[in-house]
Structure 1
Amino acid sequence: MGVRARPSGTFYAEIRAGGARLTLGTFATVEQAVHPYDVAACLVTAEQRRYRQQIQRRLAIAHADERAMEAWAAAFPRDILDERAFYEQKKADRRAEKEAIRAGKPFIEVREVGPTTIDGNNDC
């Protein structure tokens, strides 16, 4: 990562961000190579800063939601019990539906009758 001198006397610039390597090019002088690197570094750090801020906002919202749910549970415990009962009933209904579907499927029974022969008159 950065600017490197090549054996030919040119300078190579690249930057890595998020596991990806971005080649900025080969330049005749070190000054020419440093400028694109500096610009790319500013963009990468700005993007990383924006991403961290976005994550922090999402975490703050999640924590606020958790506190609100805790306050609701403390103020209205009956609602929590009703909600749990509702989802337990829904789960039991789904389980019963699946069992009904399984019970309604016909089973193909194969019985071994003994040796059979297939002749030309058989449609099978």
Structure 2
Amino acid sequence: MPPRRRSSSGYRGVRERPNGTFYAEIRTGDEHIDLGTSETAHEAARAYTPDEQRRLLIDETDERAWLLWVARFPEDVVAKKKHFATCKTTQKAAKKENCLFLRADKAAKHAFIKAQIVGPHTISDNDDRWAD
């Protein structure tokens, strides 16, 4: 992978505006987080660094909290896994049941239409069963 290009300011995430001020932003895919505008590139870069460090600290804190929770309440982890496995099984069953219902409904409509084409018409043209 080629090295990342630095902007014209010389700092990562810091760009110069047409009016001569500098702004810092963090880009992740389609997301842009604006960190503010400064008079110099150096000031804008200083706004970029603490925000990134703060996000890393939050991530590390979340990870530590999760590990403590898992160590203290292992039954919650087991219950969570069981819950999601049950949800997945239930969703699969519901999807299969719905699919079977739709197939049966479609087959009944086709049989009804064929019977109407072959035999005498016993319903009016505005009957809901004609809608497909």
- What TM-score, normalized by structure 2, do the two folds share? 0.49
Name the count of aligned residue pairs: 84
2:82 maps to a residue whose letter is A
2:56 aligns with one of 56, 59, 66: 59
Say if 1:76 and 1:42 are closer, same or farther in 2 by CA, change over 3 A. same
Q: Return the match for 1:46 from 43, 46, 50.
A: 43
Post-superposition offset of 1:83: 1.0
Structure 1 residues not aligned, in runs of 5+: 1-14, 25-35, 110-124
The one of 3, 8, 26 equivalent to 1:16 is 8
Cα RMSD between the aligned structures? 3.2
Q: 1:98 aligns with which of 71, 95, 115?
A: 95
Question: CA offset at residue 22 of structure 1?
Answer: 4.0
**Preserved contact between residue 73 and residue 80 of structure 1 (Cα < 8 Å):** yes
Structure 2 counterpart of 1:102, one-letter code: C
Q: CA deviation at 1:19?
A: 8.3
Q: Following TM superposition, by how much is the alpha carbon of 1:42 offset from its aligned partner in structure 2, in angstroms?
A: 4.3
Q: Aligned-pair distance for 1:51?
A: 2.3
Question: What stretches of structure 2 of length at least 5 have no aligned partner?
Answer: 1-6, 23-37, 111-132
Q: Rg bigger for which structure?
A: 1
Q: What residue is the counterpart of 1:74 in the other structure?
A: 71
2:54 and 2:88 map into 1 onto residues whose CA distance is 34
TM-score in terms of structure 1 length = 0.52
Distance across 1 between alignment mates of 2:82 and 2:97? 22
Contact residue 14 and residue 44 of structure 2 kept, 8 A: no
